[in-house]
Amino acid sequence: MTSNQTLDTIFSRSSYRGDYKPIPVPRGDLTAIMKAGMAAPSGCNRQTASFIAVDDETLISQIRAIFPKPSCQTAPAMILVFTQEIASIDGHIYNVQDYGAAVQNMLLAIKSLGYETCWYEGNVRPCAEELAALLHVPEELRLVCLLPVGIPTDGPAKGPVKKPFEERAWFNGFGKN
């Protein structure tokens, strides 16, 4: 298989749910990660995803109290992702695809900068409104995802085994090798 830096990052990424070292994430890195999210494609270029990085200790503690996931109790920074349902020129609404692409870009940026993270979405839903209110987010923006960011204590994440190539990908027609 071809090897290059981008592919190495893609293939080494997996969700990390362990603890983080108490080492702050520099603003420059948080900015670069959010810029990676902003660089993602979006339907009709509507750019419906937006982001808040949190590195303030008081706010982090308040987020931990609202969203008590074990790995978030030690993460020195978090990025929260928001979406807005804005129709595109063709009348379709692509905001879910837009923030999906943005989050994936940020997962890869986080990994390539030497940090670990996990795409928390399902677990965030029950407390999304409370978290958004804490950050004074206008109600037209919906919180959809929280990414802890930090240096892992447990080494790089080892993800679950993916299905075999032949089960999910083919050449020149369904089921063809």
Ligand X SMILES: Cc1cc2nc3c(=O)[nH]c(=O)nc-3n(C[C@H](O)[C@H](O)[C@H](O)COP(=O)(O)O)c2cc1C
Please identify which residue in 78, 105, 120, 147 interacts with ligand X, judged by CB under 6 A: 120
Per rule CB under 6 A, is residue 121 in the interface with ligand X? yes
Number of residues that bind ligand X (CB under 6 A): 11
**SS3 letters across 119-170:** CECCCCHHHHHHHHHHCCCCCCCEEEEEEEEECECCCCCCCCCCCCHHHHCC
Is 153 one of the binding residues for ligand X (CB under 6 A)? no
Stretch that binds ligand X, among 9-17, 28-36, 40-48, 131-139 (CB under 6 A): 9-17
Tokens coding 51: 């982001």
The HSE-up count of residue 20 (CA atoms within 13 Å, CB side) is: 26
Q: Smallest gap, in angstroms, from Cβ of residue 97 to ligand X?
A: 12
Q: How far is the CB of 122 from ligand X (least distance, A)?
A: 3
Tell me: does residue 123 bind ligand X (CB under 6 A): yes
Which residues neighbour 33 within 8 Å (Cβ) at sequence distance 6 or greater?
53, 79, 106, 109, 110, 113, 149
Name the minimum Å distance from CB 26 to ligand X.
Answer: 25
Residue bearing tokens 């965030």: 124
Q: Is 10 in the site for ligand X (CB under 6 A)?
A: no
* Closest CB to ligand X among residues 76, 148: 148
By CB under 6 A, name the one of 79, 81, 102, 118 that touches ligand X: 118
Answer whether 175's CB lies under 8 Å from 168's CB: no
Instruction: Using the minimum distance from each CB to ligand X, give the nearer residue, 63 or 118.
Output: 118
DSSP β-ladder status, 77-83 and 49-54:
antiparallel
15 versus 24: smaller Cβ distance to ligand X: 15
